[in-house]
Amino acid sequence: MAVRRVVIVGGGGAGDAAAFALRKRGFDGMVTIISADHDRPYDRPYLSKEFLRGEVELPKVFLHEESEYAKQGIELQLNRRVIGGSQLAGKLAVDGGGEVEFDALVLGLGGTPRRLPELPRAENVLTLRSLRDSQAIRQALGQTSRLLLIGAGFIGAEVGASARQLGKDVLMVEALPVPLSRALGSEVGEIYARIHRSKGVDVRTGTTVKSWHADGNRVIGVTLSDGRREEADLVLVAVGIEPNLDLPKALGLPIEGGGVRVDEALRAADGVYCGGDIAFHQHPVLGRPIRVEHWEVAKNQGRGIAANIVAGDMPYTKLPYFWSDQYDVNLEYRGQASGDDRAVWRGDRDGLSFSVFYLRDGLIEAVLSINDSKTNELGGKLIESRRRVNESALADMGVDLAELVPASAS
């Protein structure tokens, strides 16, 4: 059946990228984005960094001018939720009544920030996911001096860095003994903790909140598991997200790995594709299913889905890639590994210019780089080659990594 109407649910990186890529590839049917967000699609990485610090304003945060959607023939329905539907009938039910028909469906649903079960509802306890969240945090930071961060993952760390750059006192509380250790390993996590401490952040690891202290509808402090009482003007909870799976479940899509199981082409069922945080993707290069919660991955998967809708399903082979800027430290990561994988270091870790290769069964699964972009790019090519590489050559700065990349992958 010819595809004449594509409906995209979710106005994040995957959904917006899919819509514009469809037009770029010559699709001339109907394209509709249905988004629960109040605002048109925006560039999410700004929310924890430049926009939060007041270095850029709204016009730059939005991915496109509002007029561009009409110009491209993309129908944008904001502040609407899809509450159910039938993939076989090609119909979606939206809140407030009514149905939307589709020939191809793209789900880029993202996730919802986790809340701690004992966390009080208070006006100065915030999470960061949407543009409006970032606006609220930015405004609150302007009126406060001490930020309590719960969670030292990437969002927490980026907000913490931004708050310090604004001259705020920052207390970062992390339940793990070492921040980011599950993803990056303990040694890299220790380096990140050291970076934040060197910038004046009070980093407490292996620590949780034992009790919350409130005055009216505001949290004024906490007692930590180490017994210490700490005051706070503003609290940001950054303990990860829960992928939004209600709609996929209602549609009967396969749920696995914390998301929706999709094949190599990012397809969950005939004519139904998933990208971004919810996609548990059978990655054809890595040879295993992975789910990655990062902005660049969502955007690239959206483009890959558009290509498959227009030209027919092909394996989506692009490696996961993400980056994070904190202070003057740039992190880049390609591939997908675990902090438990074998780590091979290259470069100057004390000078914060190094890369770490993560190996499993002799193959490179991921490469993390700190202020070392060239190595990260070459590391990606080594991952894609699926060749075993001598560990001592990876670690030896005297060895040109480009010479290790097979000619077919360079």
Please list the alpha-helical segments (H only) found in 51-185. 58-61, 66-71, 131-141, 154-165, 181-184
Distance between CA atoms of 334 and 365, rounded to whole angstroms? 9
Whether 212 maps to a domain, the answer reads: yes
Whether 320 maps to a domain, the answer reads: no
The CB density around residue 314, as the number of other CB atoms within 10 Å, is 12
Whether 133 maps to a domain, the answer reads: yes
Tell me the C-alpha to C-alpha distance, in Å, between residue 283 and each of 267, 303, 318, 372, 379: 12, 16, 9, 26, 18
Domain that holds residue 343: 328-409
Copy the structure tokens of residue 5.
């109407």
Please check whether residues 293 and 368 belong to one and the same domain.
Answer: no
Domain count, the chain: 3
Residue 50 sits in a domain whose CATH number is: 3.50.50.60
Q: Is 118 exposed, middle or buried (CB count within 10 Å of its CB: 0-12, 13-18, 19+)?
A: exposed
Whether 9 maps to a domain, the answer reads: yes
Please list the pLDDT of the chain residue by residue as tens digits (410 residues). 689 999 999 999 999 999 999 999 999 999 999 999 999 999 999 999 999 999 999 999 999 999 999 999 999 999 999 999 999 999 999 998 899 999 999 999 999 999 998 889 999 999 999 999 999 999 999 999 999 999 999 999 999 999 999 999 999 999 999 999 988 999 999 999 999 999 999 999 999 999 999 999 999 999 999 999 999 999 999 999 999 999 999 999 999 999 999 999 999 999 999 999 999 999 999 999 999 999 999 999 999 999 999 999 999 999 999 999 999 999 999 999 998 899 999 999 999 999 999 999 999 999 999 999 999 999 999 999 999 999 999 999 999 999 999 876 55
Q: What is the pLDDT of residue 1?
A: 66
Copy the structure tokens of residue 240.
């990860």
- Provide the β-strand partners of residue 346: 355
Please state the separation of Cα 50 from the chain's center in Å.
17
Distance between CA atoms of 203 and 194, rounded to whole angstroms? 9
The answer to whether 125 touches 237, Cβ cutoff 8 Å, is yes
Whether 159 maps to a domain, the answer reads: yes
Buried b (16+ CB within 10 A) or exposed e, 235-248: bbbbbebebbbebb
Please check whether residues 340 and 398 belong to one and the same domain.
Answer: yes
Of the residues 238, 267, 299, which one is the last residue of a structural domain? 238
Of the residues 238, 261, 284, which one is the last residue of a structural domain? 238
Distance between CA atoms of 402 and 378, rounded to whole angstroms? 7
Q: What is the pLDDT of residue 409?
A: 58
Distance between CA atoms of 231 and 220, rounded to whole angstroms? 6
Distance between CA atoms of 316 and 309, rounded to whole angstroms? 12
Q: How many CA atoms lie within 13 A of 328 on its CB side?
A: 5
The answer to whether 344 touches 359, Cβ cutoff 8 Å, is yes
Pairing of strands 234-237, 125-126: parallel
Whether 316 maps to a domain, the answer reads: no
Whether 197 maps to a domain, the answer reads: yes
Reduce the DSSP state of residue 77 to 3 states and report it.
Answer: strand
Residue 339 sits in a domain whose CATH number is: 3.30.390.30
54 Rama class: left (phi>0) / alpha (psi -120 to 50) / beta: left
Please check whether residues 277 and 378 belong to one and the same domain.
Answer: no
The CB density around residue 336, as the number of other CB atoms within 10 Å, is 22
| Cα dihedral 159, 160, 166, 171 in deg (nearest 10) | 140
Reduce the DSSP state of residue 17 to 3 states and report it.
Answer: helix
Tell me the C-alpha to C-alpha distance, in Å, between residue 249 and each of 141, 242, 243, 274, 334: 38, 14, 12, 13, 30
Q: What is the pLDDT of residue 323?
A: 94
